[in-house]
Amino acid sequence: MAVASLEIYKILPGTNCGDCGHPTCLSFVNDLVFRGKNPDLCPHLSPADRQKISDLVRAGSPRKLESYGQVMFHPLETAIKRVQPLNFSYLSALMNEGSVYHAEDNSLTLPFLNTKLTVTKEQITDEEGTPLPPGFQTAVYNFLATVEKIHPENQWVSFKELPGAVFLSSYFVNNVEGLVSGQFSTRTDQLISAAKTLGGKILEDPGISPADVKISFFIVPKITVRLLFWDSTEEDNLPAVATFLFDTGIYRLDLESLTYLIEELVKRMIATL
């Protein structure tokens, strides 16, 4: 975990009370640093501690931007700096898969799930022209800054098996995959419908997994993920289980950005209910 994130976590009460709207203090740190949430959401912080957290978020922390397989929190300003030297025309040709370069304003049309994002070196907007949330923009910019090094290998692993995932694996299992299993338990038909709405493809190959539902999602060029879903069973008293699988070739993308992109997928799936 990045230095600033550890320092923020030490300031929080550490009780995982849920009063901030997050299941754990760690997940609240994630939203504070990566999504710009307000520390006032924690009712147990003193004004002085809230100010300390705001200062830490604003200042960021030293980090190697070219490192990978680590948990890193990138402020949007840093991510924007990363893309300034990039050649968008070259990246569009490299990615292909629906990405389009527009020379007149040096912008990219970038596919995300079943939508199109407009990317400039100043901001990223959706199809309505509305700027994306800062964390979402950061994740996409970080993807563009590393896409040249992403080479799909068609070898699939769970999140916790990705290099450096130790710090985020618990959060991902509980708050990302756990959200899917909780929301779609006994709702496999709705899960399939939600997936198709977002451009997901149902996988029928029995050799992939014995899961009840297997779905492939195109996230952005070069990054496709699989969702395996086992529904709950009354006879065995087993809860629903959801697991995302990732191509091993995406390890160059930092895990915070990857997590945000998958969280956005999950959020949009749930929004279809």
Q: How far apart are CA 170 and CA 159, in angstroms?
A: 10
CB 255 within 8 A of CB 160: no
More confident position, 263 or 71? 263
Find the distance separating the first CA and the last CA of the chain, reported in whole Å.
34
pLDDT band at 60 (very low <50, low <70, confident <90, very high): low
- Show Cβ contacts of residue 189 under 8 Å, excluding neighbours closer than 6 positions: none
- The residue count of the chain comes to 273
Please enumerate in sequence order all residues whose Cβ is within 8 A of that of 118, keeping only pairs 6 or more positions apart, or say none: 107, 108, 109, 110, 124, 125, 126, 129
CA distances from 176 to 106, 119, 222, 253 (A): 35, 26, 21, 18
pLDDT in tens, 7-18: 787 788 877 777
Any idea which residue has 């501690």 for tokens? 49
Top-confidence range, 37-41, 62-66, 194-198: 194-198
Residue 28: pLDDT band by 50, 70, 90 thresholds?
confident
Mean pLDDT, the chain, integer: 87
Give residue 4's pLDDT. 61
pLDDT in tens, 189-205: 999 999 999 999 999 98
Q: Is the predicted pLDDT of residue 119 greater than 90, yes or no?
A: yes
* pLDDT at residue 73, rounded to an integer: 45
Residue 86, token pair as written in the block: 């990039």
pLDDT value at 227 more than 60: yes
- Longest distance between any two alpha carbons in the chain, whole Å: 62
User: Is the separation of the CB atoms in 154 and 247 below 8 Å?
Assistant: yes
Average pLDDT in the 84-94 region?
97
Domains identified in the chain and CATH numbers: 3-59 (1.10.15.40), 76-149 (no CATH), 156-271 (3.30.310)
